[in-house]
Amino acid sequence: MANDTEQISTVLNNYFTDDGDAFDNIYNKHAFMRYLFEKDLEGNGEFQRVNKSSGGKQIEHPLEIAEGGITATYDGLDEIQFGTVDTMSNTQWEWKNLVSTLTLDKKKIIERKGQASILADYVATKLKNVQKSIRSETSRLLFATTVGAKDFDSIPTIVVKDPTASATVGGINGNTAATAYWRNRTQDSGTAIGGNAVTTYEDLIKAMTSLALTQGQNAADDMPDLALTDQIVYEYILFWFQAKGQFFFTDNQMSKAVGFEVPIVRGMNVVTDVLVPDMKDSGAATSSVFQLNTEYLRFTVEEERQFTVEGKLDLMHRGQDAWGWPIMLRGNFTCSNRDKQGLLWGIPRTLAS
């Protein structure tokens, strides 16, 4: 049995790190996380949306809220001003922990004793189910509208319907005049079109465009790059292109990465996830679009706890004739500029073409 369990441990570690880091391998089929990976590749290492950290008491993500330095016109022998503009401090986020467990029945191991390839296939099949469980739970955490003390911070708690409400996010409460910079942009679809409601596909595109311009403040290189929404709005956008007699404007590389067509609206890659919540929270069900500038978003993981496989545990003490392996993750989802994030909410699920 000892040799078999050693072989299983080898299979576990090889399975998670065959193509690189375990974290990357697990999330390469998770649409939102895969999007972050792909954007990192485009950025040539300039900044990392998926960040591997050596640890620390908390995750510190530098706050980015304005330009730095003194910039001014001058003429001739005018004195050139030198100085700093204090635009950088740290947002602070707690480390959160996630564990998934692999349990193997000792009877199943004994039945495959001495059959290395069969045992490896058996373990690999079990691991695929573990990966699916990890992705599913991470999606639930990333799109949770309320988070527990042990949960990751989520997109809907960083990008909210009412950013003026009192709530501490990343160590900062944005409900005071002094911290107004720490508020995301928000737009009710009921008043998005010149004070009127979004009722058609065309209105939806206009509302998304207007909010994106507000977020970017007309800076071409600082616009939202991702529109994260549910299947209903995703289909509305595809139908809008069809109604215009146009092919989808798609990012082919991103489409290949996430596994489905990724249309582009005002520079935003439109990605769908079934767990994107209804942020209206009252009345008839509606849809939402999170318009994200991912340059200011980050999923940080501790290097030595990025789905590391800990030593095997004999579960006999719990009355189970089985071996168990805990698979550990330590990290959190963070933001360095909420002002560049936006939410279009309350979108009717009965839009006209």
For 126-160, the pLDDT digits (tens) are 888 888 888 889 889 999 999 999 999 999 999 99
Q: What is the reported pTM?
A: 0.86
- Taking 70 as the threshold, does the pLDDT of residue 66 lie above it? no
Confidence of residue 67 (pLDDT cuts 50, 70, 90): low
What contacts 279, CB < 8 A, 6 or more positions away? 145, 156, 160, 161, 288, 343, 345, 346
Q: What percent of the chain shows pLDDT beyond 90?
A: 43
Distance CA 320, CA 113 (A): 20
Smallest CA-to-CA distance from 229 within 194, 204, 255, 202 is with 204
The predicted pLDDT at position 330 comes to: 92
Long-range contacts for 188-197 (Cβ within 8 Å, ≥24 apart)? Answer: 188/345, 188/346, 189/286, 189/344, 189/345, 189/346, 189/347, 189/348, 190/346, 192/344, 197/348
Answer positive or negative: Cα dihedral of 327, 49, 343, 164. positive
CA-to-CA separations, 46 to 25, 51, 86, 228, in angstroms, rounded: 22, 12, 22, 23
Domain boundaries, the chain: 1-64+95-353
List, for residues 184-205, the tens digit of each pLDDT value: 999 999 999 989 999 999 999 9
